């Protein structure tokens, strides 16, 4: 079997004392690298004056190669083009997108740097798997340097409709560079179709077969590979976590009330302010929930050097403060907003003791938290999932109550029906979703993608 080379913006390198704290993607990638031996290449997370230093080290069958960047690289490539141009645009937030040309130049420069540093470490029969919007032009850069290996790409975020994509000044060259890949994986069929639509209608490409298009003489295969979680492990972790000190403390503080939980990075795509407004509407329209429902929102800071993220933090704090001031009583606070992260283990326990998982992004490639919430439930008395139709996960989790996150009253109604749902109905909805996630876990995702890449 050929060696696997994974490239992503950040690398989940081994650290002393780490005990299974990796997120789902790292778990999936590490399993493949361990099985076949391989290389994981990416940014070290370090910023140095010179940049460009590559640290290569081995850990078991895996070689890690991590690259330092300069402050300017970080500003233009990461905070700039990746997170102020592509991220907002791909999440349909044209109002927040900033197309400063300097960002694009930095993005291309860092992708070229990645290519030049990676190239000497490649072997002829390597299979290369590049991840996410930070590295779209990387295959093109590698091809220009003579790389003949199979190269696949997986996009973790949505692919926007052509009408939205064309607002990107360099949309043509970005899509051209994507055609240097052998296989492009999307989260959902909708994303894949949006890409095909653009290639055929806007870029003048031709369709070869259902999955394959040709653009300027390059053929690329596309597929939808919805990412998933390590279902069995999470279920086990949640069962163990259900009786830990932290979970007991949470349960003790909630007492016999209903706990609604949301867990997200503090990102404007996650719909946090609208979620607070929907909860506010629940208290207003269904007053029996006053004194009874508790909404726990965990949202640690993310990309906090990007101005739009500082802004959303202020907005969310104001919204939570307003609702608590209007509704709290001396023995009950409706919203517990925590601006910090918790370990995976702890979160599994929090998911397990809650009555409802409330996941309402305005746009999300997949949303793994929704899947994690399902995996962590007690089979005898599972909670209900209220999920945005704009999360990729909504295409798969049919037992969820699917909502439109822009419609506060609709979300409040769904919350009310989840709170009133019988245990039988909750069990029925949950077991369909859990069975599905057992079959479609992170291993199945990775295997399906890598098999398709090998078959191209």
Catalytic residue numbers read: 156, 364
Which range in 114-122, 141-149, 294-302, 318-326 contacts ligand ADQ by CB under 6 A?
294-302
| Residues of span 349-408 touching ligand ADQ by CB under 6 A | 364-369, 372
Query: Which of 72, 219, 251, 265 contacts ligand ADQ by CB under 6 A?
Result: 265
CB of 189 vs ligand ADQ, minimal distance in Å? 15
Nearest residue to 187 via CA among 138, 144, 154? 154
Which residue is it, tokens 């069995």?
Answer: 232
Determine the 3-state secondary structure of 38 from DSSP: strand
Interface with ligand ADQ: number of residues (CB under 6 A): 22
271: left (phi over 0), alpha (psi -120 to 50) or beta: left
Look at strands 127-131 and 150-154 and give their pairing: parallel
Which range in 56-64, 260-268, 284-292, 436-444 contacts ligand ADQ by CB under 6 A?
260-268
Tell me how many helices (H) and strands (E) the chain has.
17, 16
Instruction: State phi, psi for 74 to the nearest 5 degrees.
Output: -60, -45
Query: Which of 92, 286, 342, 406 contacts ligand ADQ by CB under 6 A?
Result: 342
| Residues of span 30-59 touching ligand ADQ by CB under 6 A | none
Query: Which of 300, 324, 404, 406 contacts ligand ADQ by CB under 6 A?
Result: 300
Nearest residue to 420 via CA among 258, 281, 255? 258
Look at strands 38-47 and 62-69 and give their pairing: parallel
Look at strands 206-207 and 4-10 and give their pairing: unpaired
User: Is 301 among the residues that bind ligand ADQ (CB under 6 A)?
Assistant: no
Which range in 30-38, 47-55, 293-301, 434-442 contacts ligand ADQ by CB under 6 A?
293-301
Query: Which of 140, 264, 396, 441 contacts ligand ADQ by CB under 6 A?
Result: 264
Q: Which two tokens stand for residue 147?
A: 């790389």
Choice between 180 and 391, CB closer to ligand ADQ? 391
User: Is 25 among the residues that bind ligand ADQ (CB under 6 A)?
Assistant: yes
Which range in 48-56, 122-130, 136-144, 257-265 contacts ligand ADQ by CB under 6 A?
257-265
Beta-sheet strands, E only, within 225-348: 258-263, 293-298, 335-338
Taking residues 147 to 186 in sequence order and writing x for each that binds ligand ADQ by CB under 6 A, - otherwise, the string is ---------xx-----------------------------
Choice between 70 and 187, CB closer to ligand ADQ? 187
Q: What does the DSSP assignment read for 164-189?
A: HHTTSTTHHHHHHHHTTSSEEEESSH
CB of 362 vs ligand ADQ, minimal distance in Å? 12
If residue 67 lies in a helix (H) or strand (E), which one and from where to where?
A: strand 62-69
Determine the 3-state secondary structure of 105 from DSSP: helix
Look at strands 356-359 and 335-338 and give their pairing: unpaired
Which range in 18-26, 59-67, 202-210, 430-438 contacts ligand ADQ by CB under 6 A?
18-26
Choice between 247 and 367, CB closer to ligand ADQ? 367
Choice between 27 and 384, CB closer to ligand ADQ? 27
Rounded to whole angstroms, how far apart are CA atoms 346 and 391? 24
- Chain residues that interact with ligand ADQ, rule: CB under 6 A: 23-25, 156-157, 227, 263-265, 298-300, 341-342, 347, 364-369, 372
């Amino acid at each position: 079997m050929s060696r696997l080379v994974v490239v992503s913006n950040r690398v989940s390198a081994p650290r002393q004392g780490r005990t299974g704290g990796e997120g789902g993607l790292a778990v999936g990638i590490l399993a493949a690298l361990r099985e076949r031996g391989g290389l994981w290449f990416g940014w070290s997370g370090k910023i140095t004056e010179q940049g460009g230093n590559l640290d290569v080290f081995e850990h078991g069958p895996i070689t890690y190669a991590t690259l330092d960047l300069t402050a300017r690289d970080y500003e233009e490539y990461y905070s700039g083009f990746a997170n102020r141009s592509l991220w907002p645009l791909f999440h349909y937030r044209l109002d927040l997108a900033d197309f400063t040309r300097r960002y694009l130049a930095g993005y291309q420069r860092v992708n070229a740097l990645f290519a030049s540093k990676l190239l000497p470490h490649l072997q002829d029969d390597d299979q290369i798997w590049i991840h996410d919007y930070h590295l779209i032009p990387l295959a093109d850069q590698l091809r220009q340097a003579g790389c003949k290996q199979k190269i696949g790409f997986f996009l973790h975020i949505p692919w926007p409709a052509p009408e939205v994509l064309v607002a990107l000044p360099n949309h043509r060259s970005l899509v051209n560079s994507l055609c240097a890949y052998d296989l492009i994986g999307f989260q959902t069929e909708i994303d894949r179709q949006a890409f095909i639509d653009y290639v055929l209608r806007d870029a003048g490409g031709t369709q070869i077969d259902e999955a394959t298009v040709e653009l300027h003489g390059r053929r690329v295969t596309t597929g939808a590979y919805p990412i998933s979680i390590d279902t069995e492990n999470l279920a086990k972790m949640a069962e163990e976590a259900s009786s830990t000190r932290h979970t007991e403390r949470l349960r003790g503080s909630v007492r016999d009330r209903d706990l609604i939980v949301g867990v997200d990075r503090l990102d404007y795509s996650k719909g946090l302010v609208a979620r607070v407004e929907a909860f506010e509407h629940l208290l207003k329209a269904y007053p029996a929930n006053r004194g009874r429902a508790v909404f726990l929102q965990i949202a640690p800071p993310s990309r906090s050097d990007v101005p739009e993220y500082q802004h959303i933090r202020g907005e969310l704090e104001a919204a939570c403060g307003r609702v608590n001031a209007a509704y709290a009583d001396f023995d009950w606070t409706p919203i517990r907003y925590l601006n910090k992260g918790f370990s995976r283990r702890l979160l599994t326990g929090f998911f397990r003791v809650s009555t409802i998982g409330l996941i309402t992004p305005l746009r999300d490639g997949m949303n793994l938290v929704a899947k994690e919430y399902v995996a962590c439930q007690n089979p005898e008395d599972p909670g209900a999932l209220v999920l945005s139709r704009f999360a990729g996960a909504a295409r798969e989790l049919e037992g969820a109550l699917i909502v439109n996150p822009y419609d506060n009253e609709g979300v409040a109604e769904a919350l009310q029906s989840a709170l009133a749902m019988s245990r039988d109905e909750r069990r029925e909805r949950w077991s369909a979703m859990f069975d599905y996630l057992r079959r479609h876990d992170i291993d199945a995702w990775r295997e399906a993608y890598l098999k398709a890449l090998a078959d191209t």
